[in-house]
Amino acid sequence: ILHFYKALQHVSILDPTCGSGAFLFAAMNILEPLYETCISRMQEFHEKNPLLFKPELEEISNKYRSNIQYFIFKSIILRNLYGVDIMVEATEIAKLRLFLKMVAVVEVDMRADNLGLDPLPDIDFNIRCGNTLVGYATEAELQKDLTFGDFYAKQEFEDKVNTQMEIVATAFNRFKEVQFRQSEDMAAFKEAKGELTKRLATLNDLLNKHMYTTIANSYNYEAWLKSHQPFHWLAEFYEIIHDNGGFDVIIGNPPYVEYKKKNKETGKSIFDEYEVRNLKTLSCGNLYAFVLERSIKISLLNKYFGMIVPTSSICTERMEPLQKKILGYGLYISTFGFRPAKLFDGDNSANIHLSIILLNSKDNNIYTTNHIKWNASFRDYLFSTKLAYSPDVRQLLCKYNKFIRSKSKIENSVLDKIYSINKIENYLERSNNNVYYRTTGGLHYRVFTIFPTYSKKEAILSFSTKKNAKLVFCLYCSNMWNMFYYSVSNCLDVSKYEIYDFPFDLNSISNELKQNLINISDSLNKDIQSNSFISIRNYKNVGPVECYQVNMKLSKPIIDEIDKVLAKHYGFTDEELDFIINYDIKYRMGDELNEGE
């Protein structure tokens, strides 16, 4: 009990872009019953032997007029929770939410001084305002920038910084300790806070001026300081970064903002406001990738890490630097669609497929879910019933060079069997033997035809022979390709990877199966055309355009015949074929299947 309680008090939990503190608030709710159970057990042991847990229980009984619940929340807020955000308003709201949680458990005594309340904790040094992405995160980063002057000047500056950081760390510890003493000791509290504020300001000024000298820009120092709001993790949380090796747990939902995309209202991008340097994910071009890399850098070696990010983070070429960054760890990745319901509820939440990436260094396996969809009424049961992780998919990742998302052994087996060194790209050849597909649209069915639909989102694949075009047309219409698409894509667009890089060897399929597929392609083409009609689509930059409206769902019985032929080619078992044909069928076939629910 003692070791667990001590360890519990030293767990550092960070949200690096905390906003109004939702994740920190949730963390507090998880820690609270653990604290309560420990204290309850210590009290039971103490009743039998008054020498046991004496210092731990004295901290509560002799120094707090409020109840134990208040002490627990105060202990969690001061000892466990840390947050940073670039908006000062957000950090103030985060502090207020935590304070209200504490006040809510207090029984007010109208006759007592201060209504019987202990002073609220001062968490100005736990919840900080600053730029997570700008500033020195580690000693290694600072060392890299220590390139000016001669050896002695460099050594002098380094010694000065190290001394100041030690002083700040000592002042911070004293400040926290004072808050756990008698509440009447306000003079000591004010003195400790004043000392910490002064020391931290001195250290930050030293680091800010040094960083400014290493950056070639047109800003003067004051303008740079205002726009970049540097936050030096090494200085602000020296004890955690230097002594502990980093934060124990990092959680959050970083901003999904393009680094160089201009804001329509202001005409400026984030890049125009402040410059981010020394990150391997800079080419990813989105702030959430930068935050993930920064978070990994300031986390403990035996780290636990959880972030909610767009699904594109694990399946698009642009995000490869980020993917390489997280591949060195054990991963649990769950993926969620935005229709019929969204992971984040509310009309203002973006229509983005999201993934929850959980990272730890305890093992090297990768576990994933499929692309999860659900109805809004099912939200309360989403994690308890839908969250099924597949066996380790690292071997499949090595084959495909992409994160494979599945939820079962049978799905892994299918993906393993369809893998081939050859790709559709190898058979492309400029001609009039075309397959047409739409790069966007089609929620549960992607549109593929061998006749032009005249959509502005239409792309073309050309092959040397009409037979090859028909074979590939069948392949892309198949339930098997649909399963592959939801296993590797961002589930929003149809990119070159899902098309050109799809593994398939046209030469290896038998003549008999080829002819069967060609016959099916003729039937499918007729059926698609009979179920299509011309409509007018309004495009933002083009205006009204006449194009075919295609309903692939109506051709599902014929599409199933394609998979039966492909099953013979790939050697799928009956169970695997059944899985492929019925993959995502609840949503692919619409509400008529849900009438009994």
Q: What is the pLDDT of residue 595?
A: 32
Q: How far is CA 450 from the centre of its chain?
A: 39
Strand ranges of the sheet holding 448-449, from the earlier edge strand across to the other edge: 448-449, 428-438, 458-463
DSSP run (H or E) holding 156: helix 151-179
Cis peptide before 391 (omega within 30 of 0): no
Q: How far apart are CA 552 and CA 563, in angstroms?
A: 15
Q: How far apart are CA 386 and CA 374, in angstroms?
A: 9
Residue range 143-175, pLDDT digits in tens: 887 765 567 777 888 888 888 888 888 888 888
Residue range 173-190, pLDDT digits in tens: 888 777 776 555 677 778
Residue range 393-448, pLDDT digits in tens: 999 999 999 999 998 999 999 999 999 999 999 999 999 999 999 998 877 899 99
Mean pLDDT of 497-521: 95
pLDDT over 70 at 17, yes or no: yes
Q: How far apart are CA 146 and CA 161, in angstroms?
A: 11
Q: What is the pLDDT of residue 596?
A: 30
- The percentage of the chain sitting over the pLDDT mark of 90, rounded to a whole number, equals 65
Q: How far apart are CA 476 and CA 449, in angstroms?
A: 9
Q: What is the pLDDT of residue 113?
A: 74
Mean pLDDT of 227-246: 91
Mean pLDDT across the chain, nearest whole number?
Answer: 90
Other residues' Cβ atoms within 10 Å of the Cβ of residue 406: 25
Contact 580, 563 (CB under 8 A): yes
pTM over 0.85: yes
pLDDT over 70 at 593, yes or no: no
Q: Which of 215, 206, 240, 211 is nearest to 141 (CA)?
A: 211
Q: How many helices (H) and strands (E) does the chain have?
A: 23, 13
Q: Which residue has the higher pLDDT, 566 or 386?
A: 566
pLDDT over 60 at 64, yes or no: no
Q: What is the pLDDT of residue 219?
A: 74
Phi, psi (deg, nearest 5) at residue 15: -115, 110
Q: What is the pLDDT of residue 117?
A: 72
- How far are the Cα atoms of 4, 10, 37, 38 from residue 7, in angstroms, in the given order? 5, 5, 14, 11
Q: Which residue has the higher pLDDT, 127 or 158?
A: 127
Q: What is the pLDDT of residue 108?
A: 76
